[in-house]
């Protein structure tokens, strides 16, 4: 089921469902706006879900807890809204203890209103155990969730303090921290791989990269720590921002941001994705630093078209009060990556022109690598 606000983003919805390992058996487009489902709508959706033999209903959009509840009750199926499905993808890729904690916290925060909805309904005399335990169990669960969230938050604070200290030490030793950020699938990891010679997984699906990867390169006597990060998506809900936070924390600590844009997309997608990225970065307090906008995948774009897109991006950024240098690159064809690094080291120095050492070339040459899928 795709909510009206995301009707234009059907492809994204499908990519996300696929990234969470679901096979989509039917698509229902919702024509009505709003976060509530009528009883009739819940019935219709359930019927279609059962007719298609679906095991799960994905509601790609935002639903009020009471409507989510209604749909679960009507269909007796698991219902995932946009937040829950994104969290499922995160969980699939989560490796470290920290990332697991973040995901758990986001999920618990998202569940809380739903649990309260169950409790409210139970108090009003409704039968609420169609999917789980009854009212008392829900009340106990609510308490458990609240305590657990507080505990996870403390643990994460501690971990983040540690990371911050480490990064600060790196900075003090003169290393330039450059975070590669951008919308999901813009080509961040491909750029990271092409520059560092790493072979981190890349691919068209969303959230191929979930946790930051670091690699030091030496460019003309400047040590640059390149950091690959998790991709943005539009309207990231608050509870996910908190769990995104540690992967993007690198972005807030970085000296320079390499903001990757997929220049092969159409103008409206580019506009929307750049805006979504900037808004997320400002929520993370990571926008007040030199930004290099890497227009990636130029191998797929005709010159005229690229010019148009670049002026659009420039205009958009200046409209948002952001100063950024623009570099055209292709990670796959390894075009202009040196120019990119040059901009990085220039911006990190806060200077205008290139320093003398810049002419010596890249030390950590990108090694040839297998086709990035």
Ligand X SMILES: Nc1nc2c(ncn2[C@@H]2O[C@H](COP(=O)(O)OP(=O)(O)OP(=O)(O)O)[C@@H](O)[C@H]2O)c(=O)[nH]1
Strands 213-219 and 324-328 turn out to be: unpaired
Contact 182, 188 (CB under 8 A): yes
Q: Which is nearer to ligand X, 223 or 334 (CB)?
A: 334
Under the criterion CB under 6 A, does residue 204 sit at the interface with ligand X?
yes
Considering the rule CB under 5 A, would residue 196 count as an interface residue with Mg ion?
A: no
Task: Point out which residues pair with 59 in neighbouring strands.
Answer: 81
DSSP H or E stretch at residue 218: strand 213-219
Instruction: Say how many CA atoms lie within 13 Å of 232 toward its Cβ.
Output: 26
Q: Which stretch binds ligand X (CB under 6 A): 76-84, 142-150, 151-159, 177-185?
A: 177-185
Q: Is residue 209 a contact point for Mg ion (CB under 5 A)?
A: yes
Check whether 299 is labelled as a binding-site residue: yes
Site string for Mg ion, 171-190 (x = CB under 5 A): -----------------xx-
Any contact of residue 206 with ligand X (CB under 6 A)?
yes
State yes or no: 230 annotated in a binding site: yes
- Write b or e for each residue in 353-372: b if 16 or more Cβ atoms lie within 10 A of its Cβ, otherwise e: eeeeebeeeeebebeeeeeb
What whole-number distance in Å separates Cα of residue 281 and Cα of residue 326? 18
Within 13 Å, how many C-alpha atoms sit on residue 36's CB side?
A: 3
Instruction: Report, in Å, the least distance between residue 228 CB and Mg ion.
Output: 6
- 248 within 8 A of 230, measured Cβ to Cβ: yes
CA triplet 320, 343, 191: central angle to 5 degrees? 90
Residue 269 vs 312, nearer CB to Mg ion: 269
- The residue range among 32-40, 201-209, 305-313, 355-363 that interacts with Mg ion, by the rule CB under 5 A, is 201-209
Choosing from 75, 196, 202, 336, the residue that interacts with ligand X (CB under 6 A) is: 202
| Residue 207 binds ligand X, judged by CB under 6 A | yes
Q: Binding partner of residue 179 among ligand X, Mg ion, none, CB under 5 to 8 Å per kind?
A: none
- Binding residue for ligand X, selected from 3, 179, 189, 247, defined by CB under 6 A: 189
Q: Is 298 annotated as a binding residue?
A: yes
Told to check if 187 binds ligand X by CB under 6 A, we report: yes
Q: Is 296 annotated as a binding residue?
A: yes
Phi, psi values for residue 364, rounded to 5°? -85, 75
Helix (H, G, I), strand (E, B) or coil at 323: coil
Only one of the segments 10-18, 168-176, 306-314, 326-334 lies at the binding site for ligand X (rule: CB under 6 A); that segment is 326-334
Q: Does 102 bind ligand X (CB under 6 A)?
A: no
Q: DSSP labels for 99-138?
A: HHHHHHHHHHHHHHHHHHHHHHHHHTT---TTSS--HHHH
For ligand X, the binding residue among 102, 179, 190, 336 (CB under 6 A) is: 190
The stretches of 294-354 forming alpha helices (DSSP H) are 303-319, 337-349
CB 290 → Mg ion: shortest distance, Å?
22
Q: Binding site membership: which residues?
A: 182-189, 209, 228-231, 296-299
Residues in contact with Mg ion by CB under 5 A are 188-189, 208-209
Binding site for ligand X (CB under 6 A): 182, 184-190, 202-204, 206-209, 231, 296-297, 299-300, 330-332, 372-373
């Amino acid at each position: 089921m795709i909510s009206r606000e995301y009707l234009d983003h059907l492809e994204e919805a499908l990519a996300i469902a696929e990234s969470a390992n679901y096979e989509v058996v039917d698509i229902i487009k919702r024509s009505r706006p709003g976060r509530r489902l009528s009883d009739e709508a819940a019935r219709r959706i359930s019927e279609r879900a059962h007719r298609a033999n679906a095991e799960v209903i994905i509601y790609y959009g935002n639903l009020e807890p009471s409507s989510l509840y209604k749909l679960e009750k009507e269909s007796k199926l698991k219902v995932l809204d946009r937040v829950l499905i994104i969290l499922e993808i995160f969980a699939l890729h989560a490796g470290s203890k920290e990332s697991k904690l973040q995901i758990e916290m986001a999920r618990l925060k998202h569940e809380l209103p739903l649990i309260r909805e169950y409790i409210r309904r139970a108090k009003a005399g409704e039968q609420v155990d169609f999917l789980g335990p009854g009212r008392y169990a829900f009340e106990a669960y609510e308490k458990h969730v609240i305590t657990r969230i507080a505990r996870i938050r403390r643990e994460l604070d501690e971990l983040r303090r540690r990371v911050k200290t480490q990064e600060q030490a790196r900075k003090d030793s003169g290393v330039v921290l450059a975070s590669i950020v951008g919308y999901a699938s813009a080509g961040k990891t491909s750029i990271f791989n092409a520059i560092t010679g790493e072979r981190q997984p890349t691919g068209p699906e969303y959230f191929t990269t979930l946790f930051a990867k670091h690699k030091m390169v030496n460019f003309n006597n400047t040590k640059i720590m390149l950091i690959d990060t998790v991709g943005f998506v539009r309207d990231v809900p608050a509870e996910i921002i908190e769990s995104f936070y540690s992967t993007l924390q690198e972005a807030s600590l970085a000296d320079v941001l390499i903001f990757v844009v997929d220049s092969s997309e159409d103008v409206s997608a580019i506009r929307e994705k750049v805006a979504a990225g900037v808004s997320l970065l400002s929520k993370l307090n990571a926008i007040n630093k030199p930004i290099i906008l890497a227009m990636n995948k130029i191998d797929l774009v005709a010159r005229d078209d690229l010019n148009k897109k670049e002026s659009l991006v420039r205009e958009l950024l200046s409209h948002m009060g952001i100063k950024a240098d623009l570099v055209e690159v292709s990670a796959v064809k390894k075009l202009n990556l040196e120019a990119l690094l040059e901009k990085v080291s220039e911006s990190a120095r806060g200077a205008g022109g290139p320093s003398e050492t810049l002419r010596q070339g890249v030390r950590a040459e990108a090694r040839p690598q297998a086709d990035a899928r």
